[in-house]
Amino acid sequence: HDKGFIFDLDGVIVDTAKYHYLAWKHLADELGIPFTEEQNEQFKGVSRKRCLEILLEWGNMKVPQEQFDTWLAEKNEDYLVYIDKMTEDEVLTDVPKVLNFLREHKVPMGLGSASKNARPILKKVGLIPYFNTIVDGTQVSKAKPDPEVFLIAARELKLPPENCIVFEDAIAGIEAANIAGMTSVGIGDKDVLSDARYVFKDFTEIDLDFIKKLAEL
Ligand code: G6P
Ligand code: MG
């Protein structure tokens, strides 16, 4: 196959953004820093460490490294309580339709996520076997919009970047895909993801003829 597909995880395959929000909200409340769902948008695609840095900037707080690390761990423990309860039902609507179609046609698939929890989440929802490679936050040093995560995925799929199609819900993720020279498909709001080559509200709007065309099947 000439073409490969790379998927972001949070907000594309599963709706874990709501759990990230609840865990950050819990910490923010504890620290007395206001935190809304709108602010949470800015955390999408952004590493855990960077999210806490931003939260503390909003709260005008500077803290010693040790305190920082404690809060970082606390947020993640909170998040993992939600993840632990996840089931296959939480795979977003019509995502399996696309994944199954690609698998049937033996199109290479990769995951490209900033999350260090990507593997346990995929395991929870039963999607590990679909991916030829899983590149996550434990393997990358440069965060989106740096294209590192997608370039590693392309290399592992043994495909040149220009033959890869990326599905992303974050502005930073679309930017990363574009910088890598890949075809970017935005999942979300057209106005927010205006730099994407294509944008769909969610997977229910994507028909298999479009996937077929992208995959050149
Ligand atoms: C994804 C999410 C971000 C999250 C990041 C790190 O990119 O969109 O909101 O902060 O992963 O996730 P982690 O599970 O490692 O805390
Ligand atoms: Mg995402």
What is the distance between the alpha carbons of residues 172 and 184, in angstroms, rounded to a whole number?
Answer: 12
What is the distance between the alpha carbons of residues 11 and 50, in angstroms, rounded to a whole number?
Answer: 18
20 lines ligand 1 (CB under 6 A): yes
The answer to whether 98 and 104 have CB atoms below 8 angstroms apart is: no
Percentage of the chain exceeding pLDDT 70: 100
3-state secondary structure of 6: strand
Catalytically annotated residues: 8, 10
- pLDDT for 110 beyond 90: yes
What is the distance between the alpha carbons of residues 25 and 63, in angstroms, rounded to a whole number?
Answer: 19
With 0-12 / 13-18 / 19 or more C-beta atoms within 10 angstroms meaning exposed / middle / buried, residue 76 is middle
Q: Identify the pLDDT of residue 27.
A: 98
46 lines ligand 1 (CB under 6 A): yes
DSSP 8-state secondary structure symbol assigned to residue 91: B
Percentage of the chain exceeding pLDDT 90: 94
Summarised one tens digit per residue, pLDDT across range 39-58 is 998 899 899 999 999 999 99
Q: Identify the pLDDT of residue 41.
A: 85
User: In this prediction, does ipTM exceed 0.85?
Assistant: yes
Q: How many A from CA of 113 to the centre of ligand 2? A: 7
Summarised one tens digit per residue, pLDDT across range 202-215 is 999 999 999 999 99
Q: Identify the pLDDT of residue 25.
A: 98
Nearest residue (CA) to ligand 1, atom 14: 115
Crossing angle of helices 65-84 and 17-31, rounded to 10°: 140
